[in-house]
Amino acid sequence: MLLFFVLHVLAVLVAAFEVPLSDTDGERQVCSGMWGGPKAHINVSFEVGSEGQVAIVIYEWKDASYLGKETSKSDDTLPRTYICTTSALEQGLCEESSLGHFIFDLPPDKSLNDASFFETRLGLKEITSESSSATSSSIEPHQTSETPKAEAGFWDNPAGNPTPTPGTYDSPWRRATASPISTRQNTTEGNDSVSIEWYKEPLTYKVDKTGYYCVAIVPITVDGLLGRQEGQSPHYQSIILFRNTFDGKLPATDYPKVNFYFAMFLVYSALGGVWAFLCFKHRDELLPIQFHISGIVGFLVIENIASWIYYRYLNAHGATGTATVFLFVVAILDAGRNALSLFLLLIVSLGLSVVRESLGRTMLKCRVLAAAHFVFGVLYAIGIVKLQLESTSALILLFFVIPLAITLSGFMLWFMYALNGTINELRQRKQHYKLSMFRRLYFILLGTIFSIVGFFILSSLQFSDRFAEDYAARTWATRWWYLDGFLALLYLVVFWSIAYLWRPTEHNRR
C-alpha cells in the first residue's frame, strides 16, 4: 500500500513553469533552461487591462550576440541599442519599416531563418475580458468527466496551475520550425511602412531543441505611428510560461532531481533488503555497531523517499506553504543523516566496543560536534534551495558553506587521528582480523577526503564566475549535479563500502 501511495504522486496533470513580467519590473527579460521536444513550448500571455505597444523577442541564448547593434563605433562604453527608435533610425542602426521592433546584427552568411529568433511589435490596447478568454482558458486546468474536481486528491494538480492547450496549436503566433519569424500584418494606423500586430491570444514559441531560452518584452513609444495621446504610457501584466517536455511546475534546471532521488530510493531499498537478509541470517552473531548501521539504513530509505516526494510535490503544486514545510522536513532529514553517519564513524574510529568499553568525556565532545554539524547542515540545505546563486553575495553564500565545511573538516581530521591510534593499538595486540577492517576503513575515508577536496576545487571554479552574463546559460543543465548529485552519490558509495566491511557474518565475534 505504501508503494502504491508513493507511485500515485506520478499521476500529475499537465503544468508548466511560469514567470510573471510587467512594465514595472526592473528587468525586461526572463530566461529559463528548457528540455526541448515535440510538446515543449513557450507561451506569452497578457492580462486584461494591458495597453500600449511592446516589442517582443524570444530566442535561444546561443544567438544572444546577434541581438542589438553597437551604438557607437568610437565609444565602446555605450550600451548596445536593441530597439529601433527614431533616434536609432537617425543613427542608421535600423530602417523605418523596423520602427518599434528589435534590431538584429547578423553576419553576412546568416539569416534570421537560420537563428532562433521570434520577434514582433505588438499592440495591446484592444485587450478585453472577451478577447483575453484564450489566455484564461489556457491557464486553467483541464477538467473532464473522468477527473472531476471533487475527486482531486492531495497529489493532483491544483486549480490555477498553467495548462497549455494540448495538441496542435492554431495560434497564428506559433513559431514554425522552418520559419522562426512570424509574418507581420500591416495594420498600422497612419503609417503603412510600419507593421503592428494586435494581441488576441497567447503567443506560442515551439522549442524543439534543449537549450537556454529567453523572452524579452520592452514597452515602446514611437510618436506619430498610432496617433497616441501625449502622456499615455504603455503598461502591461504578462505571464511567461515555459512548458518543458516533462509535466510540472519545476524549472528545467531542477527537474533532474525528481528522477535522481527516485533512483536513489530504489538503490537504498534494494541494498537495504540485502542488509536485512544478512542480519536475519546471522541474527545470533550481531554486534552493537550492526544495529546502528541497520537503523541508519532505514533512515536513509525514508530520507530519500522524502526528498523525492518533496520535489514531486513542488513539481505538481509549486512553491506553496505545504512545499515549504516539506523543505524543512527534508532539510532536517538530510542534516540528520549526515550528522548521525559522521558521529557513528567517529565513535567506531575511536574503537568503541572493540578496543575500549567507554569513551568518557570524549563522547560528549563527539555529540557536541555532531549537533553543530546537524544545525549547519539544516542551514546549508535550506540555503541552496532558497538562494539565487547569480544574485546572492559571496559573503552570504560563505555564511551557509563555511560553518558546515569547518565541522566536516573537524570530523575528517578526528577520523584520521582516531583511526591511527586504533590501528596502532590493534597492531600491538596482534588482532589481525580487526586490524584489516580498520585499515580498509582508513583507505575509504582517505579516498573520501580526496574526493571532497577535489569536488570543492571544481565547484569553486564552477561558481567563481556566477555573475558572468552567460553563467546561467552554461550551467543550468548541470547545476543540480554540483549542488546535490555528486555528494549524494559519494555518500552512497562510502556508506555501503563501510557497511560491507561491518556486514553480518558467521565470524562477527572473532
Cβ contact 78:251 at 8 Å: no
Cβ contact 264:492 at 8 Å: yes
Cβ neighbors of 497 (< 8 A, separation 6 or more) are 444
Cβ contact 95:247 at 8 Å: no
Grade residue 194 by pLDDT with cuts at 50, 70 and 90.
low
> What does the pLDDT read at residue 264?
96
Total-model pTM: 0.74
Query: What's the fold here for domain 256-501?
Result: Rhopdopsin 7-helix transmembrane proteins (1.20.1070)
> What does the pLDDT read at residue 59?
94
Cβ contact 63:116 at 8 Å: yes
CA distance 408 to 405: 5
At 317, the amino acid letter reads H
CA distance 302 to 306: 6
CA distance 204 to 462: 34
> What does the pLDDT read at residue 392?
66
Retrieve residue 367's grid coordinates: 555529540
pLDDT greater at residue 144 or residue 365: 365
Grade residue 71 by pLDDT with cuts at 50, 70 and 90.
confident
Alpha-carbon torsion angle 264, 270, 272, 274, nearest 10: -150
Q: Cell 593499538 identifies what position?
A: 425
Residue 99's SS3 state is coil
Instruction: Identify the burial level of 46 via C-beta atoms within 10 angstroms of its C-beta, where 0-12 means exposed, 13-18 middle and 19 or more buried.
Output: buried
Question: Of all helices (H) and strands (E), which one includes residue 207?
Answer: none
Residue range 365-406, pLDDT digits in tens: 988 999 999 999 888 877 776 776 656 676 777 788 889 989
Q: Is the pLDDT of residue 156 over 50?
A: no
Residue 261 CA, chain-centre distance (Å), reads: 13
Sign of the torsion formed by the C-alpha atoms of 400, 402, 408 and 410: negative
User: Max CA-CA distance within the chain?
Assistant: 100
- Structural domain boundaries of the chain? 2-243, 256-501
